[in-house]
Structure 1
Amino acid sequence: MIGLIKDIWDRFLLYLPMAVMAILALGTYWMVRTTPPPEVQAPQRAVSHEPDYYMHGFNVRSFDAKGQIRSEVQGEKARHYPDTQWIEIDAIRIRSFDTQGRLTTATALRGLTNEDNSEVQLIGNAVVVREADARNPSSAPTMEYRGEFLHAFLNSEKVKSHKPVELTRGKDRFTADSLDFDNVDQVLQLQGRVKGTLVPTRQP
Structure 2
Amino acid sequence: MSATSSTPLAPPPGPARRREAPPLLWRLQNLVGTYLPLLILALLAAFTWWLVKSTPLPEDGSAQRVLRHEPDYQMQGFELQRFKPDGTLALQVRGREMRHYPDTDTLEIDGIELRALGKDGTLTVAQARQALSNADASEIRLQGDVLVRRYAQAQPENLPAQLEISGEFLQLNPPRELMSSHLPVTLRTGQGSFSVQSFEYDNLSGQLQFHGRSTASYLPRRKRP
SS at match of 2:195: strand
Q: Distance in 2 between matches of 1:160 and 1:83?
A: 27
Which of residues 199, 204, 207 is equivalent to 1:179?
A: 199
Task: State the alpha-carbon separation in 2 of the partners of residues 116 and 60 from structure 1.
Answer: 19
Given that 2:147 and 2:166 are in contact with CA atoms closer than 8 Å, whether structure 1 keeps it comes out as yes
Query: Aligned residue for 2:92?
Result: 72
Other-structure match for 2:182: 162
Flag the 1:71–1:157 CA change in 2: closer, same or farther, 3 A: farther
Aligned residues: 158
User: One-letter code of the match for 1:74?
Assistant: R
Alignment correspondent of 2:123: 103
Question: How many Å separate the matches in 2 of 1:102 and 1:152?
Answer: 20
* Offset of residue 191 of structure 1: 0.8
Structure 1 segment 182-193 matched on structure 2, within 5 A: 187-193=207-213
Looking at structure 2, the residues matched to 192 and 57 of structure 1 have their Cα atoms a distance apart, in angstroms, of 39
Residue 99 of structure 1 aligns to a residue in which SS?
Answer: coil
Where 1:101 maps in the other structure, the secondary structure is: coil
Structure 1 position 56, deviation (Å): 0.6
The alignment yields a C-alpha RMSD, in angstroms, of 3.6
Give me the TM-score of the superposition, normalised by structure 1. 0.61
- Unpaired stretches in structure 2, ≥5 consecutive residues: 1-61, 156-160
Of all paired residues, the percent bearing the same amino acid is 40
Q: How does 1:40-189 map to 2 (within 5 A)?
A: 44-45=64-65, 48-63=68-83, 69-113=89-133, 120-133=140-153, 142-152=162-172, 159-181=179-201, 187-189=207-209
If you compute each CA radius of gyration, which structure gives the higher value, 1 or 2? 1
Distance 1:186 1:102, change over 3 A: farther
